[in-house]
Amino acid sequence: MRILIIGSGGREHAFAWALARSPQRPHLFVAPGNPGTAALGTNVPIPVTDLAALKAFALEQAIDLTVVGPEQPLVQGLVDAFQDAGLAVIGPTQAAARLEGSKAFAKAFMERHGIPTAAHRTFGAAQYDEAVAYLERRGAPIVVKASGLAAGKGAIVCATLPEARAALDEVLRDRAFGEAGDEVVIEDFMEGEEASVFALADGDRYVLLAPAQDHKRIGEGDTGPNTGGMGAYAPAPIVTGRLLNRVCREIIEPTLAGMQAEGHPYRGFLYAGLMITADGPRVVEFNCRLGDPEAQVVLPLLETDLVEVFRLMSAGRLHEVALRMRPGAAACVVLASEGYPGSYRRGVPIEGLDAAGARPDVVVFQAGTRREDGRVVTAGGRVLGVTGLGDDLGQALDRAYEAVAKIHFDGMQYRRDIGRKGLARLQTESR
């Protein structure tokens, strides 16, 4: 089977790693890929946003199945283009991908279908004064979000009204997020603990991967600006079986039914970013793809052949799938460039990759890397995701951090508190 993976980050390396383990021994292509994916398949130098070139490649190479990693090509309509050409592809259509591509659309959709989320209002640039008045009525803390795609950095949590006013200026007046800030969503701050639930859907049915918890802020103790994600672990202890049933009943199933009713059956990964509040789960945001770095922990826990899962999923036969998860836990620590999520240097040599990944219970997923003069060097903000597997969360974290200690590049930064909330919850439950 010939499979094309679209993307170049840690998530796409995780896809390639999981698919390469299949007994079906697929021939993998990754566009554009990174040095990690090059060890598992053939990298193809096509940008993820060049839909015409990607489609032409898939047709020329007789690709049997395409897996789309990042959100940009989904929001641009890659799935529609591939389906029109008769190509099998994993991902939602452009209309369905609006759940991530437009927070304004997602909020209105949740209102229409009774899906729990924070109280909110949406404003355009011409409604600046109305937005300010709304901020003053609602008070702080409050959250200001660019409606469009902003690489995970468009949500600004504001502790005071002056901060909220500054955030509003940043989005609507200063255009810090470009077109993503054509509209701004202002929503009430939700108290609670975040969790991520992932459904694979074929339009009619769905199955669930292990629930995870991401760490968005750059600093320990969840401080500093948001990032694309500084680490993750799975399964997340906060998502009990009872809570997961409620998430399915109140969020996943109404979302899929709503998309079906509105004429856009949802096929692909549905990622529900949740806040677990005192009143139950609430949607923080929807994403139309698998998370990064959550992919680096949920895919290593999957024992079912991912090639077979994707094959049945693309054929609308998810009812034939019974996902099996390995016991234990997985934890991923992201190693980032100095300065991230702001500006950062590229081309910094990375040492210790082979030593870090020598253990069978550790996988080093490459993200912002490239090969230069025979060496792997940094090429992005989030450089590596170091994943440890263990019999429990504590062991998985220990193995991940032991591997992290073997890696070095100048300016390397990472959080040392990944999984702390999960460990604390497990300790409380064991008493």
Q: What is the pLDDT of residues 82-119, one digit of tens each?
A: 999 999 999 999 999 999 999 999 999 999 999 999 99
Structural domain count of the chain: 3
What does the pLDDT read at residue 431? 66
Whether 334 maps to a domain, the answer reads yes
Asked whether 46 and 326 are in contact (CB, 8 A), the reply is: no
What does the pLDDT read at residue 274? 97
Task: Indicate whether 130 pLDDT > 90.
Answer: yes
| Same domain for 231 and 210 | yes
Asked whether 187 and 142 are in contact (CB, 8 A), the reply is: yes
Domain boundary among 156, 188, 220: 188
What does the pLDDT read at residue 154? 82
Q: 140-189, pLDDT tens digit by residue?
A: 999 999 999 887 678 889 999 999 999 999 999 889 889 888 999 999 99
Nearest-CA neighbor of 67 among 326, 403, 306, 246? 306
Q: What is the mean pLDDT of the chain?
A: 95
| Same domain for 220 and 154 | no
CATH assignment at residue 144: 3.30.1490.20
| Same domain for 145 and 18 | no
Q: Please state the rounded mean pLDDT for residues 48-59.
A: 98
| Same domain for 339 and 202 | yes
| Same domain for 219 and 140 | no
Cα angle 301-307-309, degrees, rounded to a multiple of 5: 70
| Same domain for 336 and 233 | yes
Q: Which residue type occupies 343?
A: S
| Same domain for 151 and 228 | no
| Same domain for 298 and 321 | yes
Q: 387-416, pLDDT tens digit by residue?
A: 999 999 999 999 999 999 999 999 999 999
State the Cα–Cα distance between residues 232 and 197, nearest whole angstrom. Answer: 13
Q: 198-249, pLDDT tens digit by residue?
A: 999 999 899 999 999 999 999 999 999 889 999 999 999 999 999 999 999 9
State the Cα–Cα distance between residues 131 and 137, nearest whole angstrom. Answer: 10
Confidence band, pLDDT 50/70/90 cuts, at residue 264: very high
| Same domain for 420 and 401 | yes
Nearest-CA neighbor of 361 among 389, 385, 398? 389
| Same domain for 277 and 199 | yes
Whether 86 maps to a domain, the answer reads no
| Same domain for 361 and 275 | yes
State the Cα–Cα distance between residues 294 and 235, nearest whole angstrom. Answer: 10
Range of the domain at 280: 193-430
Whether 270 maps to a domain, the answer reads yes
